[in-house]
Amino acid sequence: MDTSDYTAALARPATRVTSEDTDIQVAIEDRFSRWKVFLHPTQHKLARRDHRGPARVSGGPGTGKTIVALHRVAHLAERLPLGHTKQILLTTFNKNLAADLRKRLLELGGQAVVDRVEIVNIDKLATQIVAETGRTGQRRWIDDGKALREWEDMLAELGESQWDPEFLHAEWNQVILGQAINSRADYFRARRAGRGKRISRAQRAEIWQLAERFSMRLDEKGLWTHRQVAELAARIQSEQAMKIAAFEERQEREGAQMLQHLEQSWANLRYPYRHVVVDEAQDLSPAHWKLLRALVRADDNDIFLVGDTHQRIYDNYASLSSLGINIRGRSARLTLSYRTTRQILGAALGLLGEEEWDNLDDNTETLGGYRSLLKGPRPDMRGFDTWQGELDALAETVAAWQREDHERAAAAAEAAGGDGEEAEEQEQTSIGVAVPTRDMVGEVERRLAQEGIRAAGIGPEGPRLDDAVHVGTLHRFKGLEYRRMAVAGVAQGLVPGRHVEQHRDDTTRYQREVQRARSLVFVAATRARDTLTITWHGTPSPFLPGNAAPDDAPVDGALFSPGGALF
Ligand SMILES: Nc1ncnc2c1ncn2[C@@H]1O[C@H](COP(=O)(O)OP(=O)(O)OP(=O)(O)O)[C@@H](O)[C@H]1O
């Protein structure tokens, strides 16, 4: 039996590994932090394997995808000849995840590796590329909510009531910008897969006209959205890649003769990166992928991406093969969770229901075989009559957790003697509270403060304080990890949010929105390492399955079959 799976698991304070194998006694001596230098052989192979093109690693939450990506970066950096430029791009969806990647890469490879890698979130990278061309001017960013209001205002000003602003905004985002369409003729030919409602040719013409007007309106007002910039950056970079291809073709034809007459602008043509590594790949849009494709030459080990479509929480869908990124035959899946217990995995998987998930291409993805060797308490699931009642119970739970952790830390420090500080750090409290809305974040923070509990919100840049209970909306928990998690407000009307109901008549859209809402609560629940509580008030969310993992589930068996049953 391979004992390396247990190494990390055994160093966990509140969980037990469910095996009586005596080899584990040896592994017990190991430290949790050893993952930095030691990967499971499966992970190790994935991080170091040579690929003849783009490759992908998928896997459920906590299976070590990010760690594999980081080791991959370190491995690629070691193999590159020393140079002045950063030849590896490590990117992800948002800012705080990029900051976290930088921190973790520094721990893993030290400054020497970090210095050779460009670590930046994808929208910031797109903005930099556009800015370098001088095409930005004085612009203000607007988010999707504000862009939607601009659509509403524009349609009202035009006296146009036939079109739903929400529909037009999504069409502009997903079809026109999403596929980098810049002519009416191309829009007539565009694929609208997954957009639900069918539209006629005459309607396409109308939509195109309105979209053009809309984009002019934003220009005039000096506004733009991240999607617009991603699309523009993809276009700039694709033009550059085409120039490089033309240059190389000419070079091959004319050889040395051409080099003598080389113009300066041609001499500077090159791909900015040699390797691209992407974390949280499921959240990138088609324009992002187009941009990444154009940033690196199509070659061995060009693109390496890790992600889990079950954790997609933004409205971005991409079919990689249609975007020039062919991962067929170069996909692998991790199935062993190092983060969380079987009991928590069971409850979290129940939140996903029976939906079908894509594999970033035109096929489906499953979490079949996804498992954990860790055993802990069953997640606590409780309902209350009112939000106030739920808040009171939450404050009580968090206070009790802190007391328990404090006592355990003190006992561990005493038992460890000289090594007390490290033991105390291992046992340190680490609590997250996730709720569906921003208002609820404020209410939880205030309620915890009344109890004398130090709480801090999680902003776009990550948690505002380290040494506090972290409170945030479900969205903010992506990529984080806590010993104890409370997911509160999992009630009807909140999970999924009411806005989902407005898409009832559009089956495809409705299904996507429901799936995204399931993913959101799934992500929050799987941030928990040892303890999870899920609460609600009034009617429970329809996503709550009411069947946490049974305590006597088989030790090494999968908790979840593709059909969705727990056993
Ligand atoms: N081989 C290993 N040995 C010990 N611990 C590991 C190993 N692989 C991963 N871990 C631990 O498991 C946790 C999850 O790892 P990581 O963040 O890479 O997972 P992930 O698949 O990216 O998760 P998510 O999809 O939820 O973001 C981390 O705390 C990490 O240290």
Sign of CA dihedral 346, 348, 349, 351: positive
Question: What's the CATH code of the domain at 410?
Answer: 3.40.50.300
Residue 266 has pLDDT above 70, yes or no: no
For position 304, what pLDDT does the model report?
A: 98
Domain match, 517 and 485 both = yes
71 in contact with ligand 1, CB cutoff 6 A = no
Nearest CA to ligand 1 atom 4: 8
At 10 the pLDDT is 44
Task: Yes or no: say if 155 and 128 are a contact pair by the CB < 8 Å rule.
Answer: no
Highest-pLDDT range among 300-304, 321-325, 479-483, 498-502:
300-304
59 is in an annotated binding site: yes
Question: Tokens representing 533?
Answer: 């509580």
ipTM for the assembly: 0.97
| 509: Cα separation from own chain's centroid | 21
Q: Which residues contact 442 (CB under 8 A, 6 or more apart)?
A: none
Q: Give the Å distance between the CA of 501 and the centre of ligand 1.
A: 35
Average pLDDT over residues 328-353: 92
- Does residue 291 surpass a pLDDT of 60? yes
- The Å distance, Cα 65 to ligand 1 centre, comes to 7
Ligand 1: nearest atom to the Cα of 307: 25
- Which atom of ligand 1 sits closest to the CA of residue 527? 26
Q: Confidence class of residue 426 from pLDDT cuts 50, 70 and 90?
A: low
Q: Consult the annotation and say whether 61 binds a ligand.
A: yes
Most confidently modeled of 339-343, 534-538, 550-554?
534-538
Q: At 185, is the pLDDT very low, low, confident or very high (cuts 50, 70, 90)?
A: very high
Report if residue 370 sits inside a domain: no
Name the residue of 12, 15, 32, 35 to mutate for ligand 1: max ligand atoms within 8 A of Cβ. 35
On whether both 44 and 187 belong to a single domain, the answer is: no
Average pLDDT of span 110-131: 94
What φ, ψ does residue 284 adopt, rounded to 5°? -85, 150
In DSSP terms, 223 is beta-bridged to 140
Strands 303-306 and 357-358: unpaired
Instruction: Give a yes or no: residue 259 inside a domain.
Output: no
pLDDT of residue 191: 81
> Does the annotation place 286 within a ligand binding site?
no
| Least confident residue range of 127-136, 254-263, 291-300, 482-491 | 254-263
The minimum-distance atom of ligand 1 relative to the CA of 59 is 21
Query: For residue 259, what pLDDT is reported?
Result: 61
Q: Is residue 341 part of a domain?
A: no
Same structural domain for residues 125 and 174? no
Q: Omega before 13 cis (within 30°)?
A: no
Q: How confident is the model at residue 28 (pLDDT cuts 50, 70, 90)?
A: very low
Percentage of residues of the chain with pLDDT beyond 90: 56
418 vs 498 pLDDT, higher one: 498
Same domain, 410 and 519: yes
Domain contains 205: yes
Same domain as 530, residue 385? yes
The highest-confidence range among 372-376, 458-462, 526-530, by mean pLDDT, is 526-530
Same domain, 514 and 447: yes
pLDDT-based confidence at 195, cuts 50/70/90?
Answer: confident
Whether 112 and 149 share a structural domain: no
> How sure is the predictor about 482, in pLDDT bands with cuts at 50, 70 and 90?
very high
Q: What is the mean pLDDT of residues 507-511?
A: 83
Q: Rounded to the nearest whole angstrom, what is the distance from the C-alpha of residue 413 to the centroid of ligand 1?
A: 26
Flag whether pLDDT at 310 surpasses 70: yes
For the Cβ of 308 lying below 6 angstroms from any atom of ligand 1, the answer is yes
Shared domain for 121 and 177, answered yes or no, is: no
Residue 499 lies in domain: 380-537
Residue in the block written with tokens 């146009």: 160
| Single-letter residue type at 103 | K
In this structure, what token pair is assigned to residue 562? 């593709």
In a domain, residue 71? The reply is yes
* 481 to 110, 351, 380: CA distances (angstroms): 22, 19, 18
Question: How does pLDDT run across 540-554, given as a tens digit for each residue?
Answer: 999 997 543 333 333
> 391 by DSSP, 3-state: which?
helix
Cβ of 65 below 6 Å from ligand 1: yes
Query: Binding residue per annotation — 63?
Result: yes
Q: Please tell me the predicted confidence (pLDDT) of residue 551.
A: 39
Evaluate if residue 558 carries a pLDDT over 60: no
Mean pLDDT value across the chain:
84
Angle 12-332-284 from CA coordinates, rounded to 5°:
90
- The reported pLDDT for the residue numbered 421 is 58
Alpha carbon distances (Å) from 282 to 256, 315, 490: 45, 10, 24
Is the dihedral angle over the CA atoms 210, 216, 218, 221 positive or is it negative? negative
Res 422: pLDDT:
56
Ligand 1 contact, 477 CB (< 6 A): no
pLDDT greater at residue 80 or residue 426: 80
How far is the C-alpha of 494 from the C-alpha of 539, rounded, in Å?
10
Same domain, residue pair 385 and 533: yes
Percent of the chain with pLDDT over 70: 84
Residues 393 and 505 in one domain: yes
- Copy the structure tokens of residue 300: 């061995």
Total tally of structural domains belonging to the chain: 3
431 CB contacts (<8 Å, ≥6 apart)? 398, 401, 402, 469, 470, 482, 483, 484, 485, 486
My answer on whether 410 and 476 are in the same domain is yes
Task: Check whether residue 86 and residue 192 sit in a common domain.
Answer: no
pLDDT, tens only, 204-256: 999 999 999 999 999 899 998 988 899 899 999 999 999 988 888 888 887 76
Q: What pLDDT, on the 0 to 100 scale, is given for residue 101?
A: 95
Categorize the per-residue pLDDT at 136 as very low, low, confident or very high, splitting at 50, 70 and 90: low
pLDDT value at residue 76 = 96
From ligand 1's centre to the CA of 162, what distance in Å?
A: 49
- The answer to the question of whether 65 is labelled as a binding residue is yes
For residue 70, give the ligand 1 atom closest to its CA. 18
Q: Is the CB of 144 under 6 A from ligand 1?
A: no
Would 461 be classed as within a structural domain?
yes
Strand runs labelled E in 188-291: 223-224, 275-278
In a domain, 495, yes or no: yes
386 annotated as a binding-site residue:
no
Query: What pLDDT sits at residue 20?
Result: 43
| Least confident window among 134-143, 195-204, 313-322, 338-347 | 134-143
Distance CA(255)–CA(205), nearest Å, equals 48
Whether 210 maps to a domain, the answer reads: yes
Asked if the model's pLDDT at residue 90 lies above 90, the reply is yes
60 labelled binding-site residue: yes
39 CA: nearest ligand 1 atom = 1
Cα of 405 vs centre of ligand 1, distance in Å, is 23
pLDDT band, very low/low/confident/very high, at 535 (cuts 50, 70, 90): very high
pLDDT at 149: 95
Q: Say what the pLDDT of residue 554 is.
A: 33
Closest residue to atom 18 of ligand 1, CA basis: 64
Whole-angstrom distance, CA of residue 350 vs CA of residue 563: 11
Give dist(CA 494, CA 473) in Å, integer. Answer: 12
Over residues 76-99, the mean pLDDT reads 90
